[in-house]
Homo-oligomer: A and B are copies of this chain.
Amino acid sequence: MRREITGFSNPLVKRVRSLREKKHRKREGLFLAEGLRIMTEAREAGALPEMLFYAAEVAPHPLASALMDAVDEAGSEVIATSADILSKMSGKDNAQTLVGVYADRLTPINALDRASADIWLVAQSLRDPGNLGTILRTGDAVGAGGLILVDDCVDPFSVEAVRASMGALFTQAIVQCRWQEFIGWLRSGHGALVGTSLQTDQDYQQPAYTAPTFLLIGNEARGLPADYEAACDTLVKIPMLGKADSLNAAVAAAVMAYEVRNQLRRRG
């Protein structure tokens, strides 16, 4: 279905704009993704927006036209509007020429098929949306199955997290749960829980990782709680040669994930 919106005061503009806030995303079960690149990744991963808005004054890219046709065929809305209105929706001065409204896509932990991937990323009380999105992007690159968000993590559907994920939000399963649910589920099947810690001398290249490995990433400022570390099968540390005692959380996740990936690849 195609239509047009030209007025800033249109209630739909206001509604879409409200999705920049977590409480509205939660109430509606919807979130925003912007830009051709991310929306094309989404489509390739099988996710089409419920509503697609585009700037009518810009000649659409062939991929954008194909995306609009697909949304149209799926019976969802394709809405012509202006670059200014898109800016208002996305809260960016220099907005993308496409904005999509997607149904949020959380997976219940019991629905995860742990055997479907060799690596799973698990983040605990992660606070920074850029880190969360970057971890999703890394997960996609290493062939992880998804990201399990334990305890009070930042919302994975925030505009910043979606942007930083560069579309990986649509290729990775996303779970939100408490620690007890996670550990109960984990121990009901196979899989090793690996955490990084300052309390161990074991270098991260020392263990032989096995599939599936669950990589546990702690909060940016505090790392992992002691009892969560105690619940890990393996604790390792990434060597630090400088003055600082820690890496950025998304960087630590990537260094660990590539080590596991490389080991599993070498052993075939």
For A226, list chain B residues within 8 Å (CB).
none
**Within 8 Å of chain B (Cβ to Cβ): is A45?**
yes
Task: Give the interface residue-count category, chain A.
Answer: 35 or more
Q: Which listed segment binds B: A4-12, A181-189, A211-219, A245-253?
A: A245-253
A141-B240, A255-B255 known; A248 vs B250 contact (CB < 8 Å): yes
CB pair A244 B142 closer than 8 Å = no
Of residues 227 through 268 on chain A, the ones whose CB sits less than 8 Å from some CB of chain B are 238-244, 246-248, 250-251, 254-255, 258, 261-262, 265
The distance in angstroms between the C-alpha atoms of A3 and B238, with both chains bound, is: 44
The distance in angstroms between the C-alpha atoms of A180 and B253, with both chains bound, is: 35
Contact partner of A242 (CB less than 8 A), chosen from B143, B243, B250, is B143
**Within 8 Å of chain B (Cβ to Cβ): is A130?**
yes
Contact partner of A255 (CB less than 8 A), chosen from B164, B205, B258, is B258
CB pair A137 B248 closer than 8 Å = yes
Instruction: Quote the shortest CB–CB distance from A93 to chain B (angstroms).
Output: 15
A250-B251, A254-B251, A255-B255 known; A242 vs B134 contact (CB < 8 Å): no
Sampled A-B contacts (25; CB under 8 Å)? A41-B243, A41-B244, A45-B243, A130-B130, A134-B250, A137-B244, A137-B247, A140-B243, A141-B238, A141-B242, A141-B244, A143-B241, A166-B244, A166-B246, A167-B244, A168-B242, A168-B243, A168-B244, A171-B242, A239-B261, A241-B261, A248-B250, A250-B251, A255-B255, A255-B258
Could you list 18 further interchain pairs (A-B, Cβ under 8 angstroms) beyond the known A140-B242, A239-B265?
A: A134-B250, A134-B251, A137-B244, A140-B240, A141-B239, A141-B242, A141-B244, A143-B242, A167-B243, A167-B244, A171-B242, A238-B258, A239-B261, A251-B254, A254-B254, A255-B255, A255-B258, A258-B258
Chain A contacts to B: CB under 8 angstroms: 41, 44-45, 130, 134, 137-143, 164, 166-168, 171, 205, 238-244, 246-248, 250-251, 254-255, 258, 261-262, 265
